[in-house]
Amino acid sequence: MMNNRFLSLSNFKYALPEARIANFPLQQRNTSKLLVYQKSDITEDCFSNLSNHIPENALLVFNDSKVIPARIVFKKSTGAKIEVFCLECLEESSKCSVWKCFVGGAAKWKEETLMLQQGELVLSARMYQRTEDAYEIHFEWNVEGKLFYDVLDTFGDIPLPPYIKRETVESDKDTYQTVYSSAKGSVAAPTAGLHFTESVFKTLQEKCINRAFVTLHVGAGTFKPIKTANVYDHTMHTEWIDVSKAFVERIKSGEDVFIIPVGTTSLRTLETLYWLGVKVMIDGVDNAKNLELKQWENEKYSAINVSVKDAFQVLYDYLEVNNLDRLIARTQIMITPDYTIKTAKAIVTNFHQPESSLLLLISAFVGNDWHTIYDYALSHDFRFLSYGDSSLLFLD
């Protein structure tokens, strides 16, 4: 699929001065700047006034995934540092776990078992095997009843994005989480949500703007640069989504006609759910035991005209038939400029890196106007990337 198409990556290049990358958050989350794009017009405001720009009875969809302290620094007996960045759990049992990890200083590790201790808790790590792009690391700890996530809380640090050129500080444990984060599993924050505070939620509620939550656990692949000249040759990373039956029921009811995802991960979740519904509709419930949306798989169904309500009705029926309260699936969806957004009317999002899959997604919303939007942001002192300012982009 897609192999006959060509779209040059260079079309999504722009000059991002290092000084425009926000290395620290603002002291108050909701005081960030807000760029509003609608019908080719650009205005700006303060994020605390977000509700002024959203229609009544709209539904904001948030990703409630919580960043885990996935970065662990070990020291060898020689004093050499080995930095382990946990990406994905491959196997979990009592007092041990196997994870796919990036390893800094891997050549120095060899066969030594590395250890950390705090109080009575002891964590050991040994290298299992190398994979194509990472390592499998076997962790063990000595306290019954603790999950590896609990162990990470003791020994791990919050992993800031690679473009933030500084060490983590204590405040990052709070500022690099959304105020509503709850489901542990991400190694990067769904940063569009970092601007929200209880006071912002209050103003939204006063205008009858609703909210709902989904979960997409953000992997390190979100920072993976596109290195192919043709963007369609890029291999998209895979991530897990987890949504409640109640959320699927809400969308299939058709009452929320103006859906606004907060962040690219929320949009990817919504669009994945739509296509999974279409997939189950076409392939049948019996052939959909393990739900997964592979890269470009949605193209197979793109000629079929299915409403959002009908697609989510099929998903709801699937959950009913299988007696499931939650839908958990893998997604590799890649949203490119020629993709037609199915579920959303607007998106709340930060400003993204040049030549990134996130910027390609934005172009699906606003077309080539992304150039105008980003030029405006650069010339009007907007702060970029994870700790930067926000935008509200309406579907072009």
Length in residues, the chain: 396
229 shares its domain with 85: no
60 shares its domain with 93: no
148 shares its domain with 186: no
221 shares its domain with 353: yes
pTM: 0.93
CATH number of the domain encompassing residue 25: 3.40.1780.10
205 shares its domain with 259: yes
125 shares its domain with 217: no
pLDDT (tens digit, 9 = 90+) per residue, 10-67?
999 999 999 999 999 999 999 999 999 999 999 999 999 999 999 999 999 999 999 9
Are the C-beta atoms of 58 and 52 separated by less than 8 Å? Answer: no
Q: Is there a domain that residue 99 lies in?
A: yes
For residue 11, CA distances in Å to 14, 78, 168, 242 come to 9, 48, 34, 34
pLDDT (tens digit, 9 = 90+) per residue, 82-120?
999 998 889 988 899 999 999 999 989 988 999 999 999
336 shares its domain with 351: yes
77 shares its domain with 57: no
Which amino acid is present at 15? A
R_g over Cα of the chain:
21
Are the C-beta atoms of 106 and 75 separated by less than 8 Å? Answer: no
CA distance 124 to 84: 12
SS3 286: helix
Domain that holds residue 96: 71-156
Q: Which of 35-39, 77-81, 303-307 has the highest mean pLDDT?
A: 35-39
CA distance 324 to 42: 44
- Count how many domains the chain has: 2
243 shares its domain with 298: yes
Alpha helices in the chain (DSSP H): 148-155, 172-175, 198-206, 245-252, 264-283, 308-321, 357-366, 369-379
Q: Is there a domain that residue 234 lies in?
A: yes
DSSP string, 16-61: --GGGB-SS--SSGGGSEEEEEETTEEEEEEGGGGGGGS-TT-EEE
Are the C-beta atoms of 148 and 184 separated by less than 8 Å? Answer: no
Average pLDDT, the chain: 94
Q: Is there a domain that residue 168 lies in?
A: no
Q: How confident is the model at residue 201 (pLDDT cuts 50, 70, 90)?
A: very high
Are the C-beta atoms of 161 and 223 separated by less than 8 Å? Answer: yes
Are the C-beta atoms of 354 and 375 separated by less than 8 Å? Answer: no
296 shares its domain with 385: yes
145 shares its domain with 184: no
Check residues 131 and 354 and name the one with the higher pLDDT: 354
